[in-house]
Amino acid sequence: MDAALYKDTKVSRGLNYHYFYSPATSGYPTLLLIHGFPSSSFDWSRQVEYFRPKGYGLLVPDLIGAGGTSKPEDADAFRLVGIARDIVDLLDAEGLDKVVGIGHDWGSIVLSRLANLYDERFYAYVWNAVAYQPPRPHPIDFDALIQHLSAHTGNGHFGFWKFFNLSDAHVVCERNIDSFLQLVYPTRPEIWLEWLTPVGKSQQWVEENRTPGIPQWLTQQEYDVLRKALADGGLQSIMNYYKVAVNNLNLPDDKKIPEETWTIRKPALWVAALRDVAGSESAESYKPNLEKYVPGAKIVELDVGHWVQFEATERLNAEWEAWIEGLGLQGATVAS
């Protein structure tokens, strides 16, 4: 991604956001690409390379805690309503009235809140790997949930969430940065079943400094970029996404979100990663939520792991493009 096309803007919360922006050619919509953990805007480099020459606008922020964006240590700064407001501030900064929202991992959760709170700013939504998540107006006991899943499935599923909530987790991961990276970007998706989701196993992996190598779907150059971003920026701030969730810090905000906004009525696409064992217990478990809250969603299933934008780049780009073309936005009067 061209470094010359990155900009910095201070949002209304006083945080600095670093983001890539390439304006749309007349008649084409802008795509808002929202990354997840432990990533940065670079996650979307292959999509930017594909869609930019075609005329699509691209707004690709480093989320709070990542890349060149502010990295507060206070978990309260990572409440979803605040991050959603930050993203709208970026739209305002670039004079973008409406965009197509696209999210992955925690970016999918951020996109979900944007849909609830600022639906008028979007033409449509694309969720990747992690599907739409409605507000949660009731607290979740993650320890009890992990115990329940362990008893019924033999896998705590959220085991890595417990590790990432430890006060020194970032220190352990930064000290063994290659081991951490090679766990979260695994050579095979199934590694997560043994080493990420069971309680205690992700911590064991990193402390033992396991380094099996990089997956075949990442180039060495891409791996080096990912590594440098984490080595330079650290993990203490970005791990707050998990602290907010485990400690139910979104609860007061979620209680205030009107229930009528929970249902998504704009066009929506979910790209399911069938071998992603951390996105949920299985891709199937997302479908009841989609049927209830995103009744018109199109579902595309890919036989890959969590990192769909890297593992199935050509297929993902083609699916997005065909679906977006079907919205009839190209050639129409697209506000900017």
| 81-123 residue pLDDT tens | 999 999 999 999 999 999 999 999 999 999 999 999 999 999 9
Domain membership of residue 103 (yes or no) is yes
String of DSSP letters for 256-318: HS-GGGSS--S-EEEEEETT-SSSSS-GGGGHHHHHHH-TT-EEEEESS-S-HHHHTHHHHHH
User: What is the DSSP annotation of 205-231?
Assistant: HHHTT------TTS-HHHHHHHHHHHH
Helices (H) and strands (E) in the chain, counts: 15, 8
The string of pLDDT tens digits covering residues 36-53 is 999 999 999 999 999 999
When pLDDT is averaged across residues 192-220 and rounded to a whole number, the result is 96
* Measured distance CA(186)–CA(326) in Å, rounded: 34
Say if 80 falls within a structural domain. yes
Residue 136 · residue 148 · CB < 8 Å: no
- Looking at the structure, tell me whether residues 39 and 101 fall in a common domain: yes
Domain residues for the domain of 120 are 3-138+252-327
pLDDT of residue 323: 97
Report the number of distinct structural domains present in the chain. Answer: 2
Note the pTM of the prediction, 2 decimals. 0.95
Q: Which pLDDT belongs to residue 153?
A: 78
Tens of pLDDT, residues 117-157: 999 999 999 999 999 999 999 999 988 988 888 887 778 78
CATH code for the domain of 71 = 3.40.50.1820
Nearest Cα to Cα of residue 300 among 321, 281, 280: 321
Query: Does one domain contain both 132 and 151?
Result: no
SS3 240: helix
Q: Percentage of the chain with pLDDT > 70?
A: 96
pLDDT digits (tens, 9 = 90+) for 258-311: 999 999 999 999 999 999 987 644 566 777 888 899 998 999 999 999 999 999
